[in-house]
Structure 1
Amino acid sequence: MGVEDAPIVIGSAGRRLYLIDWFRTAFETLGLNGRIIVAENDPTSAAASYGDEMRLLPPYTDPAYADELLRLIEEFEPKLFLSANDYELMHLHVDTNIAAGLRKRGIFVPGVSPAWQKGCADKLHMAHMLEDIGVNTPMTVTGNEVDRLLGAAGSSGEFVVKHRFGSRSSGLVVVTANHLDEAVASSAKSVRRRADSTDVLDEVIVQPCAPGSEYGVDIVSSLVDEGSLSGVFARRKLRMRAGETDKAVTVDPAPFADAAAKIARAAGLSGLIDLDIFLDSAGTVSVIDINPRFGGGYPFVHLAGADVPLYYLSQIFGIAIDASWRHYEYGVVAAKYQETRVTAHGQQSSDMQ
């Protein structure tokens, strides 16, 4: 395969059509005849018909998923496979050896080590991993340990309750100490139970609210030299909607550089991951969440000048580019908006049940 044929696969893009657009633009910038294969399990999703090719995969929970993914790989021989879905990533990197197998075939699969992928999915474990590498994070306990948290942190201020294995702020509520027990019980009712779970309250975590303002930070490592930090991008969150940043302003990433380097090195990072961080008036950083994928906050820095898709493709296809891909303007405010596109014709309502 030469530059005349440069396929990549984007899985579970869902509503993130901008990722497809920006990889398409990056292909054009590098002079590559790229093809973007979209892999979805819903043929009527917004992204399914937006790529150059579309292939249906079973849900990652389906026993046929691995075989169908392998058929896709053999058909297109892509150089990159990335997913925008937390649970699919867990299946690829931890529950199976699929990600490792793809890498042995010469396919780049951005992400973190299996241990850190597991930690990112388990917010209690993640807090311990961050503490172990000297990155500040709020004290984190399960719903059964509220008394221990109050004994250490005190009963003043506010507390965050959310699902331990959740995604996109599932089960999230912020309450004062006198409403903690009620909030934990309420969050536990909507938790996604795991097969080996024995106590639903262990599926909920509680933390004291971190001081300061909340930021989204993308950290990027080389795809060919895992753990080496290549770029850091930051934006202050101005508004949230459905668990994603809805409006933000880009800022200088310097306050987050030390934590970013420690995480990239410890996690064996390749490519981009998204961090949720609080920064207080004294300059203290507190990491509260890690999403090992392109997160919903990346568009804010891309629109300000950063270009991670261009960096990915330059590394994958061995094309030298300058450092402008990691430069972006500070003080740029951007807000998301909604669009709608036709994804199928001739469907009966009964077909969509």
Structure 2
Amino acid sequence: MAVTVLISSAGRRVGLLECFRASARDANIDLKVLACDMDPELSPACRLADKAFSVPRCDDPSFAERMLEISTLCDVDLIVPTIDPELSVYSANIQRFAECGTHVHVSPPAVIGVVRDKGLTAEKLKAAGVPVPDTYTLEFGRENAEKLEWPLFLKPSGGSASRGIRAVSGPEGLPERPEEPMILQQLLEGPEFTVNIFIDKSGKLRCAIPHRRLRVRAGEVEKGITERAPVFRELALGVLRALPEARGVLCFQVIKDKTAGPCVFEINARFGGGYPLAHHAGAHFTRWLLEEISGQPSSASDDWRSGALMLRYDAAVFEG
């Protein structure tokens, strides 16, 4: 069985590329891994892919057309997005890709619309019974400053990779004219976890694997360790209640606050940067996706190792 996978906005995602290749070997699949980026010559993952392509920014109107062109030209079976800003574009064009024989690993627009808005994420999760930090609009914070418990956490409602986040000690710290919509959230204190989950094509939660974020760099876990505890699976089931149309790989962030307990404060509807740790611990999401695409029986399970440790370091690709 031959499968062609295209990793979108591949950048530095060498670990994800290697996970797909290892999974293909395990599943006896003849895999071709393609990659694309704005500047593939300077992308390590593109350099290590079987073939790489240059594409415009994902917010460029020509992005979808270029990806459809590549998918048709190369008979791409599966596109794997890796950054939040491209999810909306792919989700809006799922059917167009399907018509050219390409499955995009992305949830429907109803899901992406929620996870790309942190205020709406908190609202949907709370309605589904999932504990979340108290969340307010910037305007509410200004008008009701005396009723709120400061400091609060200020963040872009559609941000990612820890961009633009900071704690504010009072209303005087709020931006007058923010460049993008912002929200305020309760400042949680405690250990932080990422929970990687896999939802199969029928909508069933097949795996929830948490890791404690021991150290983070630029929004991605640099050192982490898997920890098994029932509360994380319960939270994962709550996320699925809030987003019943979600499919494939997602991850969400949890802080075990010393007072409020575990609270979910963010969802990413894609492979997280720390996925290689989950893969190492036995949660082979890449294999399960390849099995779905190739029509093989699914080997998905919640059988993974607690205590698996990841210590990242920088490596390099050399040319010339």
TM normalised by structure 1 equals 0.82
Q: Residue 111 of structure 1 contacts residue 273 of structure 1 at CA under 8 Å; is this kept in 2? A: no
Q: Residue 292 of structure 2 contacts residue 298 of structure 2 at CA under 8 Å; is this kept in 1? A: no
Aligned to 1:217: 195
Structure 2 residue 3 is matched with structure 1 residue 10: no
Distance 2:165 2:277 in 1: 24
Alignment of 1:63-78 (within 5 A): 63-78=61-76
Partner letter of residue 187 of structure 2?
A: C
Q: Residue 75 of structure 2 contacts residue 101 of structure 2 at CA under 8 Å; is this kept in 1? A: no
Structure 2 residue 270 is matched with structure 1 residue 293: yes
Structure 2 residue 224 is matched with structure 1 residue 256: no
Q: What SS does structure 1 have at the residue aligned with 2:270?
A: coil
Aligned to 2:131: 136
Q: Note the alpha carbon deviations across 1:4-63, whole angstroms, 9 max, x for none.
A: x32111111211101111101111111121101112221222222211111222222323
Which of the pair has more CA radius of gyration? 1
| TM superposition shift of 1:142 | 2.3
Q: Note the alpha carbon deviations across 1:203-257, whole angstroms, 9 max, x for none.
A: 22111123542110011101x31x2111101011111111111111110042122
Distance 1:327 1:64 in 2: 42
Select 2:162's aligned residue among 166, 169, 173.
169
Q: Residue 130 of structure 1 contacts residue 137 of structure 1 at CA under 8 Å; is this kept in 2? A: yes
Against the structure 1 CA distance between its residues 334 and 120, is the aligned structure 2 distance closer, same or farther, given a 3 Å change threshold?
same
Q: Residue 153 of structure 1 contacts residue 208 of structure 1 at CA under 8 Å; is this kept in 2? A: no
Distance 1:174 1:300 in 2: 29
Q: Percent identity?
A: 27
Distance 1:287 1:335 in 2: 25
How large is the Cα RMSD of the aligned pairs? 2.3
| TM superposition shift of 1:66 | 2.4
Structure 2 residue 111 is matched with structure 1 residue 116: yes
Aligned to 1:90: 88
Distance 2:94 2:161 in 1: 23
Q: Residue 76 of structure 2 contacts residue 101 of structure 2 at CA under 8 Å; is this kept in 1? A: no
Partner letter of residue 63 of structure 2?
A: Y
Q: Residue 283 of structure 2 contacts residue 302 of structure 2 at CA under 8 Å; is this kept in 1? A: yes
Against the structure 1 CA distance between its residues 141 and 282, is the aligned structure 2 distance closer, same or farther, given a 3 Å change threshold?
closer
Distance 2:299 2:260 in 1: 31
| TM superposition shift of 1:322 | 3.8
Distance 2:309 2:284 in 1: 17
| TM superposition shift of 1:147 | 4.8
Q: Residue 22 of structure 1 contacts residue 309 of structure 1 at CA under 8 Å; is this kept in 2? A: yes
Select 1:340's aligned residue among 305, 316, 319.
316
Distance 1:10 1:21 in 2: 11
Q: Unmatched 5+ residue regions in structure 1?
A: 194-202, 346-353
Q: What SS does structure 1 have at the residue aligned with 2:175?
A: helix
Distance 2:68 2:241 in 1: 30
Aligned to 2:219: 243
Distance 2:292 2:182 in 1: 40
Against the structure 1 CA distance between its residues 143 and 75, is the aligned structure 2 distance closer, same or farther, given a 3 Å change threshold?
same
Partner letter of residue 107 of structure 1?
A: T
Against the structure 1 CA distance between its residues 19 and 147, is the aligned structure 2 distance closer, same or farther, given a 3 Å change threshold?
same
Against the structure 1 CA distance between its residues 152 and 231, is the aligned structure 2 distance closer, same or farther, given a 3 Å change threshold?
farther
Against the structure 1 CA distance between its residues 148 and 336, is the aligned structure 2 distance closer, same or farther, given a 3 Å change threshold?
farther
TM normalised by structure 2 equals 0.90
Distance 2:95 2:147 in 1: 41
Distance 1:16 1:294 in 2: 10
